[in-house]
Structure 1
Amino acid sequence: MSTPARRDGTPDRRKPARGGSVDRAVRARAAQSAERGNTSRGVRIGKKSPGAQKATPPRQVAQPPVVSNAKPARRQNVASAESGNHPKLPWGEGERLQKVLARAGVASRRAAEELIAQGRVEVDGLVVRGQGLRIDPRHAVVRVDGTRVVVREELVHLALNKPKGWQSTMSDDLGRPCVGDIVAERVAAGQRLFHVGRLDADTEGLLLLTNDGEVAHRLTHPSYEVAKTYLATVRGVVDRAVGKRLREGVELDDGPAVVDRFQVLELGEGRSLVKIVLHEGRKHIVRRLLSAVGHPVVRLVRTDIGPVALGNQRPGTLRVLGRDEVGKLYEAVSL
């Protein structure tokens, strides 16, 4: 085969170029293969612009540790209340908190506003700092400085010093003097009162009366363990062994019974004055216990029920419980 000549007649010694559709198809497949390979490695195919520099991976910058300002779950309710997010009643319902506190005898309305601003008032377990919160006094649980405040106007709580010989009933078919005679005016005015527990006719001292049936029930139920304190004058000289035996438990006709505390206060002339504290309320429980250990009761006076004390209140008189007494009474029975 002869070498092709240039136009000027000299031999053309350049390498023959590949031509034809076959060569173009081969080059296209090679380009596609290279593009797929580069794409799988995260390389973008394209023309390189003039002056472009080689891409470098971004420099890793150390991030500061994340500090959470979230409060523990047990504080979330308090924080919500302090922020003024206490659940509100529909417009026009309920009463303003400061007015309710003033009516309950906590403080004047202006002083109640200061208590709220100082964060000393709680409603349903939430601290309230904002003014103007409206509550439903029938259902809201209000506390000031941690002490329950009973804000329902219709509730009555009374302390009676029951005299000896009076019956612990609201009426008596035999015409004997009873508790109902002392509160007759209140009953006539429409108050329905319950006496908390009973005292037998020969036992004198503190008897509570209320129109809150739930409180009356809980105060007498042994599961709430509300302590009752008695002073008993008994026959004989009481020694230390008696107190130990009572605290360990004494078997009675209706089952074992124990006292929470026992103390000898006075001894003399064949009699002893003792102090006994227990939370049971079975019939004649104190008299039966002391008789079982050989010291029959001569005189028995109940002086305390939970946080309420008889003090120097005269026999046959009534007094309205103070706000703090009522609050502690409700706390004692988990209300």
Structure 2
Amino acid sequence: MRNDPYVSGGIRLQKVLSQAGIASRRAAEQMIQDGRVAVDGQVVTVLGMRVDPERQAIHVDGERVILDETKHVVLAVNKPVGVVSTMSDPEGRESLTDLIGDYPERLYHVGRLDIDTSGLLLLTNDGELANRLTHPSYEIPKTYVARVHGEVKGGVRRQMLSGLELEDGPIAADAFRVVDTFGDITTVEITVHEGRNRIVRRMMDAVGFPVRELVRTQFGPIHLDHLQPGTTRRVKGNALTALYGAVGL
């Protein structure tokens, strides 16, 4: 759609922003005049432009405006150990569908966690969002907490951040820190943006600290927080906007 106030059909842009709770109609008009609003990547400065909120992407100050959260379904799931990261399993093992029940929307799982890893998984009905969140070019960070045997000293952190050579190529952590040490068990936090199979376990193996327990605590801007194992929550509001913004939608 052109940046043209006389395009027929659709809803006036300032009305859409007002209905989405971004600002009052008058304040939305000022945002448009100030060049703070874009439609399908094009900055709009003309008042009265009509848009189709069902089909067009609207951004304010670079943040995606989610116009109808009922149509953008994203679920955060705390996957327990032993559950496979698929919607069904031919071997009859517990799957993600068993955790969410008969959800009315068709949902895609965003990436995977291996069967021995617990923590945050995202499910969505938006195929393009799922594709972008897992595509390497968007470099979406994922944070894990791992428990290992022994004391993890400073040299390990340097190795993890400077890079390791694995059988399928080099890899470096985006962030690494020791959380605590209790007896013979050390807890570490690792952030990576690659999604290679069992990547955190293989990295820790490479530095001599095989993982005993692994939990994913964050995927992009979405945190596990206090979500209990085997339960889900709907991602809404600012968190949903941040998730779309992370992949340029």
User: Which residue of 74, 82, 86 corresponds with 1:169?
Assistant: 86
Question: Residue 257 of structure 1: CA displacement?
Answer: 1.4
Distance in structure 2 (CA, Å) of the matches to 1:118 and 1:198: 44
Contact 1:88/1:135 (8 A) holds in 2: no
Q: What amino acid maps onto 1:143 in structure 2?
A: H
- The runs of 5 or more residues in structure 1 that have no matched partner are 1-84
Contact 2:17/2:28 (8 A) holds in 1: no
User: Which residue of 74, 86, 98 corresponds with 1:157?
Assistant: 74
Matched, 1:283 2:197: yes
Matched, 1:312 2:238: no
Question: Residue 142 of structure 1: CA displacement?
Answer: 1.4
Contact 2:140/2:219 (8 A) holds in 1: yes
Matched, 1:142 2:54: no
Tell me the TM-score normalized by structure 2: 0.88
Q: What amino acid maps onto 1:150 in structure 2?
A: I
Q: Kindly provide the CA deviation profile for residues 13-46 of structure 1, in whole angstroms up to 9, marking residues without a partner as x.
A: xxxxxxxxxxxxxxxxxxxxxxxxxxxxxxxxxx
Contact 1:164/1:204 (8 A) holds in 2: yes
Distance in structure 2 (CA, Å) of the matches to 1:199 and 1:99: 42
What SS does the aligned partner of 2:31 have?
coil
- Summarize the alignment of residues 126-275 of structure 1 with structure 2, pairs less than 5 Å apart: 126-127=43-44, 130=47, 133-151=49-67, 154-186=71-103, 189=104, 191-275=105-189
Looking at secondary structure, tell me which structure has more strand per residue: 2
User: Which residue of 104, 107, 119 corresponds with 2:31?
Assistant: 119
Matched, 1:301 2:211: no
Question: Residue 277 of structure 1: CA displacement?
Answer: 0.6
Question: Residue 325 of structure 1: CA displacement?
Answer: 1.7
Higher relative contact order (CA 8 A, sep 6+): 2
Q: Which residue of 2 aligns with 1:327?
A: 241
What is the identity percentage for the equivalent residue pairs of Structure 1 and Structure 2? Answer: 46
- The runs of 5 or more residues in structure 2 that have no matched partner are none
Q: Kindly provide the CA deviation profile for residues 261-280 of structure 1, in whole angstroms up to 9, marking residues without a partner as x.
A: 11011012111110101101
Distance in structure 2 (CA, Å) of the matches to 1:309 and 1:225: 17
Distance in structure 1 (CA, Å) of the matches to 2:98 and 2:15: 36
Residues 151 and 334 (structure 1), Cα distance of their counterparts in 2 relative to 1, 3 Å cut: same
Looking at secondary structure, tell me which structure has more helix per residue: 1
Tell me the TM-score normalized by structure 1: 0.66
Q: What amino acid maps onto 1:223 in structure 2?
A: S
What SS does the aligned partner of 2:98 have?
helix
Higher-Rg structure is 1
RMSD value, Cα:
2.2
